[in-house]
């Protein structure tokens, strides 16, 4: 299985660090979050990885080159003009995923979730995509029906809702920024340029199965803010 780590973002929540560095190189107990996630994937046998870059792209390239990919085979995808967001960034590298299901993950999440368990769940259910979720409090939630298939999304702060299927919502869960995806998805993505995978899923879920994998019992943190770095250092000491 191959993987993509999304590392092109501007990291505005992580200022002032990201005024001079990409968020991927933020340190947690002496290791960058990029290194931690490369090693996380490798611990499950996933060592063919593509990393998209934009903000201080050369710093990420040098970090990977100077450390021999931290033991993995790393390819860089440059987004020179603008950040293509999660969906656009993935679509740009569709050529890389020619060998079955793959993992997509944000560089700024850290977890000890059993990725093998998520992969097995995905293979058993055989959806178009499986989304890692937890029951934690968030400002935005994916909405799932009684069989844990995606049927919508909502913003808790604004009240905005996007409904894919007019079905009864059984649960709302916070997305962890980790996906397992079938390459069939590329033939269904209608959007071009800069767009989010959230919008892709909400569109595709009208006619295809997008399911959830709940890992609420594992460690997880979004390290997008300076205060989150301190919490991450406690969690992943």
The pLDDT of residue 237: 84
198 by DSSP, 3-state: which?
helix
The pLDDT of residue 212: 98
Output the pTM of the full model.
0.96
Alpha helices in the chain (DSSP H): 33-42, 57-66, 85-92, 115-125, 197-204, 226-235
By CB neighbour count within 10 A (0-12 exposed, 13-18 middle, 19+ buried), where does 57 fall? buried
| Beta strand pairing call for 140-144 and 171-181 | antiparallel
Range of the domain at 126: 2-235
pLDDT digits (tens, 9 = 90+) for 87-134: 999 999 999 998 899 999 999 999 999 999 999 999 999 999 999 999
pLDDT digits (tens, 9 = 90+) for 4-22: 999 999 988 999 999 999 9
The pLDDT of residue 99: 83
Alpha-carbon separation of residue 153 from 89, 95, 127, 161, 188 (angstroms): 21, 29, 18, 6, 20
227 preceded by a cis bond (ω within 30 of 0) = no
The pLDDT of residue 224: 85
Domain count, the chain: 1
Indicate which CATH number applies to the domain containing 194: 3.90.550.10
Under-70 pLDDT residues of the chain: none
- Report how far residue 124's alpha carbon sits from residue 120's, in angstroms, rounded to the nearest whole number: 6
The pLDDT of residue 98: 87
The pLDDT of residue 169: 94
Distance of CA 192 to the CA centre of its chain: 19
In 3D space, the residue among 40, 186, 195 whose CA is nearest the CA of residue 108 turns out to be 40
235 by DSSP, 3-state: which?
helix
40 by DSSP, 3-state: which?
helix
């Amino acid at each position: 299985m191959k993987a993509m780590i999304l590392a092109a973002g501007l990291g505005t929540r992580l200022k002032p660090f990201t005024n001079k560095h990409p968020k991927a190189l933020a340190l947690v107990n002496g290791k960058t979050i990029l290194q931690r996630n490369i090693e996380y994937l490798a611990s499950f046998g996933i060592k063919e990885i593509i990393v998209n870059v934009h903000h201080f792209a050369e710093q990420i390239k040098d970090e990977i080159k100077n450390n021999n990919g931290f033991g993995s085979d790393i390819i860089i995808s440059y987004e020179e003009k603008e950040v293509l967001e999660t969906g656009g960034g993935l679509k740009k590298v569709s050529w890389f995923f020619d060998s079955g299901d793959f993992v997509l993950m944000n560089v700024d999440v850290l977890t000890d979730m059993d990725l093998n368990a998520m992969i097995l769940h995905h293979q058993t259910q055989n959806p178009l995509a499986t989304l890692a979720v937890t029951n934690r409090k968030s400002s935005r939630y994916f909405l799932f029906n009684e069989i844990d298939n995606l049927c919508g999304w909502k913003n808790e702060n604004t009240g905005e809702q996007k409904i894919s299927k007019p079905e009864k919502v059984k649960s709302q869960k916070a997305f962890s920024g980790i996906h397992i995806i079938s390459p069939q998805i590329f033939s269904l993505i209608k959007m071009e340029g800069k767009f989010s995978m959230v919008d892709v899923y909400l569109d595709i879920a009208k006619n295809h199965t997008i399911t959830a994998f709940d890992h609420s019992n594992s460690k997880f943190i979004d390290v997008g803010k300076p205060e989150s770095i301190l919490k991450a250092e406690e969690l992943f000491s």
